[in-house]
Structure 1
């Protein structure tokens, strides 16, 4: 969701996985046993205090959430609200808090989460808001079609999207690239990218690429972009759908190994996402691959687009928009169902989408937003999303695979690909992860 909340060190991630495993012992039917899916109507649903749980406690996410809260409270001053930031700096923490509260029938009005297959963890515990939110607010006619699909789960619609982050990005320091003599527009393949890394290493004092490796998800995310770049959307889609091409996986892992062994900081294993991105801001690194939540950090540090930093699609993925979504979700039988629906209708509105995303560095999902209301960089991302013919969903951020599969993919990298980089072992574990 943000540079500050869903990207965590390996210790935090493992702690979350233990909690998820414990809940898994009860099973999704355990949550479903406490709750019944439905429209959420019950007595008193239009009164009380609306509680919204989220994980945006710092950085770009905090600024965006604060702006969204202010806009909602101005629009509906008579609604009592409690915006509850889940403790810590990780989406993992948020997921744990939500799962525990649902399990204990300690329900909130709405919570922030990724939609798509990520919602599998909450199966049986979600309200269907298709009629009272999606249809009543006309969202199916104005929300990007691929987003509507991702917000449909188990033949119901329990979530409303708030913004999209593009995943297939390469951000670069303009001065470093100019000093090295690297033309970013010439980077159209992984081979061209690695050649540029060698040039940066030879011609400047900057490290060619910065990478945060305090946890395995960043290496999984980088591998996914390289797989897409080298072998195309079909191979990527086959991978996430459980029909992996072993040769494509191994080729992508070999290229990932080359980059991680030769072109990133020596202390990458200790770097957080914020620390890694600081190297772009201060000019000690040439480029970084990440979701476009990094825009929020550049904006906060008064970095000018195309003057201090630049952007290109990850080499070899031109014309593709790798799809990430943030949304707000409605739990079933919560104490304020009517307020929940009011909140979600607002989340889907133009006002909410513009207010949140221009602060977050993400892209509105409505197709009728005036792009001039967005900063220059986000205008480009908005148009790219609207025009994209191919929108493969992100692996590392919950849309493309179930929580169990994502856990197994991360484990393949944690065990085999955090240095030393064992291509064959990682490939075997990844094939097993998506095939089971």
Structure 2
């Protein structure tokens, strides 16, 4: 068919008209949608990794890979794209999401989320991932396995705005393909196993080219959105337009030797390659620290293009920038006011603005000595005295005698400027110091001088030894990635690139964009040894804290710990890796899997006792933190009884955040008052069941339970069991002396069965905190739950003793079931320094007060001001000090995990059939099946000390009998080595616990009596003297611990409590008794 010119014109007009009509018709209309009822061929063919089922596109990436799936049959320009995303199985820290602006599988953008509540925007180019927006936590994201999130991206020209569940989270500039891009999805899998991703309800809606993004639905940006909005330097740069003249000297970069000697020339080479250059060469000039980087850009010119790099210091570079002698200033310090003023007067703009001042990275000025020098640390004052010449011999700072040889950067170097500002202050550098422009040469000189000391950027330590630096009285710190990025290292500094606000040379802005983007790769250290800005930004989400604190009160308390941490370590953020499920019922299996495959979080939540020591310490999953207790004085701040719960073989393995009481019965005070029920200071089972009967008759569910995770019912049974068998029975049950089919245990089971008649009918569908919410709402009257429930009352604004009240679980008064929480240090923690900083934070007074006041628990430390806490906390603190302390079975402290699993199974069955015999038999078999583990209960210390009223023998000495009238004896066992008044190690530990107990104000008005006794070996005079010496030895130890006895005496071999005919009996008689009157 022949087409005439007129026809061509006609077809052209028709096509243009159709295009106009199409634009007008599709603006605001659906361009594409897919409900995934089948796999559209545009997504490719079905395979093991990609399939469709039940209206979902399912992606299953292989381990350690990211699977991307593009719809290459459709291309969109300005568009509103949305899709539903969920991850029903896999690692919560792996990313997946919505692909947009895709050219092909080698070039696309992706809005990614993970199941731990974070998002980012990634760009895949060739073989690498760039991060226009780094990982950021955002409350808009629904966290957890299986949660569905709606991702939405609105693109217009080069700008994209991202929304998650209707909330705007970030806007950024990028490089969309010319003429529009494809869309798609992606999902990743961890190296420990495969993830499953599901995508649904994909929709693409056209927007008008003239529609501004500000006209999008008024979803207010979250705080995270503000944090992630980056200047254009954060995105990959746009290649220069062809019309830009490029031949000859195209770009001049002057400044710091630290970044100009190696890093900037390397970046120049990479930039040329990015622009498609060939024949890239680096040519050093004759003058030291000057280099030309040359290349040919075939698409632009056949002539060579040159970038000039001169590294003579920031000071000279700022002068050159103001004078128009350079295009970019490379600085290892911030511009000074007078330098900025000269640049502004030269028409370069506000040099402190983001357009002019670009942070490239961070560094620390290292102070180093010869490797043979015994000195490892110096204070800032000592350094100032050394480099000013006030101290001239190493012996003056604790080293070996010998003169100190000084090596320093010259007065034009940035290292010297930094050192002078941070260390010397107003003092001049000693005239005896040797000055160097080249930091590498300076370091090499120190490496060969046994008396030498110098300073330079971290990368120039080379063959020397870095010194830790401190302020007087504070920890000395080495320059490391953590100490530098957090600013904790005293000689930390930042590196900058400075350009005019509106540079006439287009190379300047494009090079800066490229430099910042290029330094966002996988390497944390640049070729010059400092930490790239993008790496530092990435580290703000590097510390992973694993826990199961997800309820309202728990999350608020955990956030308080995060706030304390970020306050003191602002350069490091936190990945809040939570897995919902009370008592860690869902979290622990996830954690065990990660530990088993060598993928641990940095730190994780653990209960002490069997859970910590058996599941994590014994398999060598965590490292000891004993040194923290020594360095921070925690051995006296934390009760010995608690430290024993987290110790093994003399090493401590966790830092406790707080101590919960497990056996608390909470009640809605107003609901009980309306039904004529009054609760006193204690409650018996008869009183409890009478109240339940009255409530049931009124049509009210008396007892609220949320046992969708069965542990809540198991805890109700645990509290009931303690009420029947008492503290001694509790100890006997878990050390094997009492059997699980004992009549007393069966009595507790009968009470537990009776309680099922009064619980809320929806108990099986509720979590523990939802059951507490029913009490808050007045739907149930009681709930038996640990005092983490108090955190929910606090979060809901409930008033103590007005809206709600509490009492010990029926017949458990005088007993305190410990449910403590702590955090570990993972063996080989990915970010060990940050983790140690986390542990130091949570063990501090500040964090313990902030956390526990919201959580419902009492501080693990005993040196906090109790008046700062509410009435419940003060009551719990008082009970903790005087009650018998008992480990919880349900929370992994009194028995191993193998027994706990069988207990939960037995409770699940019992809630259904209420068969006492079957329940008792199942637990008896469980105790036998788990073997000898269950008969060795950890030593919890405090509960062993109680007040007794023994009968006084008629043959007791008068002085003894008169002294103990109205007194009670403390059940402490203080033993001595034979023939001496030297206390053994166990006795010293008992005295530590005793001192903690007697520190309680309720004992302050009582008198302390100390009586010493001996065995019958030796003559009477010697025995009497020995018994007095033993009493005095104990009195002295008590005095050291702040306790002063009012009576100290010895009674020789009198009042023997065992036969002196055996060594065992004689050992018992060598004792000291302590009484309170």
| TM-score of the pair, normalised by structure 2 | 0.35
Q: Which residue of 2 aligns with 1:219?
A: 713
Q: Which residue of 1 aligns with 2:577?
A: 85
- Deviation of 1:389 after TM superposition, in Å, equals 3.4
CA distance 1:267–1:110, change in 2 (3 Å): closer
Q: Which residue of 2 aligns with 1:160?
A: 655
SS state of the match for residue 356, structure 1?
Answer: helix
- Deviation of 1:186 after TM superposition, in Å, equals 6.7
**Are 2:760 and 1:268 equivalent residues in the alignment?**
no
In terms of fraction of residues, the more strand-rich structure is 2
SS state of the match for residue 778, structure 2?
Answer: coil
Q: Which residue of 1 aligns with 2:924?
A: 431
8 A contact 1:205–1:284 mirrored in 2: no
Q: Which residue of 1 aligns with 2:747?
A: 251
- Deviation of 1:185 after TM superposition, in Å, equals 0.8
Q: Which residue of 2 aligns with 1:198?
A: 693
Query: Alignment partner for residue 397 of structure 1, among 891, 902, 909?
Result: 891
CA distance 1:83–1:383, change in 2 (3 Å): farther
- Deviation of 1:309 after TM superposition, in Å, equals 0.6
**Are 2:704 and 1:210 equivalent residues in the alignment?**
yes
Which residues in structure 2 correspond to 1:373-392 (within 5 Å)?
Answer: 373-385=868-880, 387-392=881-886
Q: Which residue of 1 aligns with 2:729?
A: 235
8 A contact 2:712–2:768 mirrored in 1: no
8 A contact 2:602–2:831 mirrored in 1: yes
Q: Which residue of 2 aligns with 1:306?
A: 801
Distance 2:891 2:685 in 1: 23
**Are 2:846 and 1:347 equivalent residues in the alignment?**
no
Which residues in structure 2 correspond to 1:142-161 (within 5 Å)?
Answer: 142-153=637-648, 155-161=650-656
8 A contact 1:241–1:434 mirrored in 2: no
Distance 1:74 1:216 in 2: 38
**Are 2:562 and 1:69 equivalent residues in the alignment?**
yes
Q: Deviations over 1:20-76 (max 9, x none)?
A: xxxxxxxxxxxxxxxxxxxxxxx9685674332223234111111111111111122
8 A contact 2:788–2:856 mirrored in 1: yes
- Deviation of 1:209 after TM superposition, in Å, equals 1.4
Which residues in structure 2 correspond to 1:305-324 (within 5 Å)?
Answer: 305-324=800-819
**Higher mean C-alpha displacement, 330-339 vs 347-356:** 330-339
Distance 1:429 1:198 in 2: 30
- Deviation of 1:426 after TM superposition, in Å, equals 0.5
**Are 2:611 and 1:118 equivalent residues in the alignment?**
yes
Cα RMSD (Å) of the superposition? 2.2
Distance 1:392 1:187 in 2: 19
- Deviation of 1:343 after TM superposition, in Å, equals 1.9
SS state of the match for residue 391, structure 1?
Answer: strand
SS state of the match for residue 648, structure 2?
Answer: coil
**Are 2:408 and 1:408 equivalent residues in the alignment?**
no
CA distance 1:249–1:358, change in 2 (3 Å): same
- Deviation of 1:291 after TM superposition, in Å, equals 0.7
SS state of the match for residue 397, structure 1?
Answer: coil
8 A contact 1:45–1:339 mirrored in 2: no
CA distance 1:339–1:102, change in 2 (3 Å): same
Distance 1:328 1:299 in 2: 24
Distance 1:65 1:271 in 2: 23
8 A contact 2:706–2:712 mirrored in 1: yes
8 A contact 1:321–1:388 mirrored in 2: no
SS state of the match for residue 323, structure 1?
Answer: strand
**Higher mean C-alpha displacement, 265-274 vs 134-143:** 265-274
SS state of the match for residue 867, structure 2?
Answer: helix
**Higher mean C-alpha displacement, 216-225 vs 62-71:** 216-225
**Higher mean C-alpha displacement, 406-415 vs 148-157:** 148-157
SS state of the match for residue 575, structure 2?
Answer: strand
Equivalent residues, number: 389
Looking at both structures, which has the greater relative contact order when contacts are Cα pairs under 8 Å and sequence separation is at least 6?
A: 1
- Give 1 or 2 for the bigger CA radius of gyration: 2
- Deviation of 1:301 after TM superposition, in Å, equals 1.8
- Deviation of 1:118 after TM superposition, in Å, equals 0.4
8 A contact 1:226–1:256 mirrored in 2: yes
Q: Deviations over 1:233-261 (max 9, x none)?
A: 1111222223334112101000111111x
Q: Which runs of 5+ in 1 are unaligned?
A: 1-11, 13-42
Q: Deviations over 1:376-400 (max 9, x none)?
A: 3222222222x23311111111111
Q: Deviations over 1:293-337 (max 9, x none)?
A: 111111222211111110111121112111001101111222333
Distance 1:306 1:291 in 2: 18
8 A contact 1:303–1:309 mirrored in 2: yes
CA distance 1:388–1:431, change in 2 (3 Å): farther
8 A contact 2:681–2:807 mirrored in 1: no
Distance 1:116 1:137 in 2: 23
8 A contact 1:201–1:207 mirrored in 2: yes
CA distance 1:77–1:428, change in 2 (3 Å): same
**Are 2:549 and 1:53 equivalent residues in the alignment?**
no
Q: Deviations over 1:173-208 (max 9, x none)?
A: 112221232221175321221122112333x34222
SS state of the match for residue 321, structure 1?
Answer: strand
8 A contact 1:321–1:392 mirrored in 2: yes
Distance 1:87 1:227 in 2: 30
Distance 1:171 1:351 in 2: 28
8 A contact 2:790–2:856 mirrored in 1: yes
Q: Deviations over 1:339-368 (max 9, x none)?
A: 322221221111111111112121111111
Q: Deviations over 1:210-244 (max 9, x none)?
A: 12232332222112212211221111122222333
Q: Deviations over 1:254-292 (max 9, x none)?
A: 0111111x2112332333223322221122222111011
Distance 1:325 1:45 in 2: 33
Q: Which runs of 5+ in 2 are unaligned?
A: 1-144, 146-478, 484-538, 932-1077
Runs of 4+ displaced beyond 4 Å? 43-49
8 A contact 2:724–2:745 mirrored in 1: no
